[in-house]
Structure 1
Amino acid sequence: MTRQIFISYTRDDEQFAKHLADTLCETGANVWLDIYNARPGRHWARSIEQALAESKMMIVVLSPAALESAHIAVEWQAYLEAYRPVIPVMSRRCDPPGPLRTRRPVDFTREQNFNRAFHELTNRLLEYGTRIRRSDPVIWTLSEGVNDYRDERESVTPCKPSPTGSGLAEEELASSGLKRMVQGLRDMLRRGDAMPPI
């Protein structure tokens, strides 16, 4: 079985995340996407925590909405702290925070570059040892009625720097109710533990 890849995204980017997951699965990648893999009737947050602990790398979908999400920041920061690979991909123009910017986000923001961007993403996954088939350029088309964000292509939304200069400020974590989950996830990732069955 290939190494599991966790896709971190916001609901605003759900359509893009689904397309990305489906196309990656066609290359043989083992992808975990909450809307596909979190089982009905199970505790949603616990399913995500378990998938984060069991996955070996993360693709984080970046957009202005993702930069505002405390949950997304917690996920990628915990992975970086545990020295697990994080590959940022941009679904819409934004200015990623420094730790993600230095990892050269794969740019999916221009419709004409989707094939090239997907090819670059599969090459990155191969560099990390993921067993997938190298992609030929894939033809991506947007479903009818899906916003392609053409009017947003030239505008860049800067992310708000935290008062500490890196990551989420402690008061942001405390106020969002994520502090305990963050610490537990960090501890699990450092130890390499799998979550107990749900």
Structure 2
Amino acid sequence: METGQVFVSYCRDDEDLARALRDRLHDASIDCFIDSSRIRAGDHWRSAIVSALHESAAVVVVCTNRSVQSHEVTFEWSYASGLRLPVIPVIYEPSLALPAGLDGLDRLDFVDPRGRQWDRLVSRIMEARAENSATVAHLVRLGISNVFSDRQELFRRFTVSQVLDRIATSSDLLVVGRSLEAWAREFRGVWTACETRSIRARFALVDPALPKDSWMTPSAYATLDVQPSVEKFRLMPHLSPQAEGSFELYFLPNAPLFSFTYYQDLIGPCGILEIGAGLPFEKRHSFILRATDSSQASLLESILATCESMLTERVPAFTLESREP
């Protein structure tokens, strides 16, 4: 699908309204995504919905007393808001109280069938598609789903605990950075992922024995964190004999100017790339990389290969071993 499609969010009881909306937008040459299989298992539903949202230019929410109480609908427009997609509430019932998050958005009145604001809806969608074509679509073709200039925004949406929650069972986790201080704080969560979910984790940070004046971009903050990070990782207990996960810690011969995290979730491979590791926070840029087709996958794979080459033929400084039964 192209990124010009519109995602129609609705609850199952309002399917007739959603289909009528889709048909009317189709007459205006606007493609819509409507999920008509909501009785499937939750994991299958969630994966399909997330993929469709990443491929959409805007989200139209069919707002009724039923839909505003639907957990599925709430997830859809909330996730879309996190992607910075335009969310357009379309009101079908009078005096409808919208939940926080929707109540501050510009809404369209579709209560009276004779006075529905179709022209305004089409205009809003076309504006969203034009903006998407100028910015997001180009980045998506490069394999980039989101770009963050605000490091705090990146951390709100991709915290260590969130990544650990999203990572698929029996998948790989590769983390390369300067000090990995945020990951070290969550060493118990990393251990749990390896122990109970068979995660194969490889972490690489700068060698704490490296003279600080040899760092490509010295950072007092990072140099203070390197050794404590190593010590926290070493606090992880042995894995049980039946555990199929693993953990390896590598030391790098210099301090990289970027950090990279790679894992697999319900959507597929995901990479979090932060450039400018030695620069002030406001001068760093972060990219979320998604392999949604073969051409986009090559970008993510090339960065992954670069990071893995740093570890080739290196002996892990620390390996989490299974304890004896």
Q: Which TM class, normalised by the smaller chain length?
A: 0.5 to 0.7
Q: Counterpart of 1:100 in 2: which secondary structure?
A: coil
Separation in structure 2 between the aligned mates of residue 79 and residue 73 of structure 1, nearest angstrom? 10
**Shift in alpha-carbon separation, 1:60–1:130, aligned structure 2, 3 A:** farther
**Shift in alpha-carbon separation, 1:75–1:194, aligned structure 2, 3 A:** farther
Q: How many Å apart are 1:111 and its aligned residue?
A: 2.1
Structure 1 consecutive aligned stretches of length 4 or more whose deviation exceeds 2 Å: 43-49, 190-197
Instruction: Name the residue aligned to 2:56.
Output: 55
Separation in structure 2 between the aligned mates of residue 80 and residue 21 of structure 1, nearest angstrom? 21
Q: Counterpart of 1:64 in 2: which secondary structure?
A: coil
Instruction: Name the residue aligned to 2:114.
Output: 112
What amino acid sits opposite 1:119 in the alignment? D
**Shift in alpha-carbon separation, 1:192–1:101, aligned structure 2, 3 A:** farther
- Indicate the structure (1 or 2) with the bigger Cα radius of gyration: 2
What amino acid sits opposite 1:83 in the alignment? R
* Identical aligned residues as a percent: 29
Q: How many Å apart are 1:98 and its aligned residue?
A: 3.5
Q: Is the 8 A contact 2:58 2:129 kept in 1?
A: no
> TM-score when scaled to structure 2?
0.38
Q: How many Å apart are 1:2 and its aligned residue?
A: 6.6
Q: What's the Cα RMSD here?
A: 3.2
Q: How many Å apart are 1:194 and its aligned residue?
A: 5.9
Deviations 1:63-104 (CA, angstroms, capped at 9, x unpaired)? 111111111111111111221111111122321123222222
**Shift in alpha-carbon separation, 1:76–1:192, aligned structure 2, 3 A:** farther
Larger fraction in strand: 2
Instruction: Name the residue aligned to 1:103.
Output: 105
Structure 1: gaps spanning 5 or more residues: 37-42, 132-178
**Shift in alpha-carbon separation, 1:184–1:57, aligned structure 2, 3 A:** farther
Instruction: Name the residue aligned to 1:66.
Output: 67
Structure number with the bigger relative contact order (C-alpha 8 A, sep ≥ 6) is 1
Separation in structure 2 between the aligned mates of residue 12 and residue 130 of structure 1, nearest angstrom? 32
Separation in structure 2 between the aligned mates of residue 44 and residue 106 of structure 1, nearest angstrom? 28
Separation in structure 2 between the aligned mates of residue 63 and residue 15 of structure 1, nearest angstrom? 12
What amino acid sits opposite 2:105 in the alignment? R
Separation in structure 2 between the aligned mates of residue 8 and residue 194 of structure 1, nearest angstrom? 25
Q: What is the total number of aligned residue pairs between the two structures?
A: 139
Structure 2: gaps spanning 5 or more residues: 38-43, 132-164, 168-264, 272-286, 295-325
**Shift in alpha-carbon separation, 1:45–1:81, aligned structure 2, 3 A:** closer
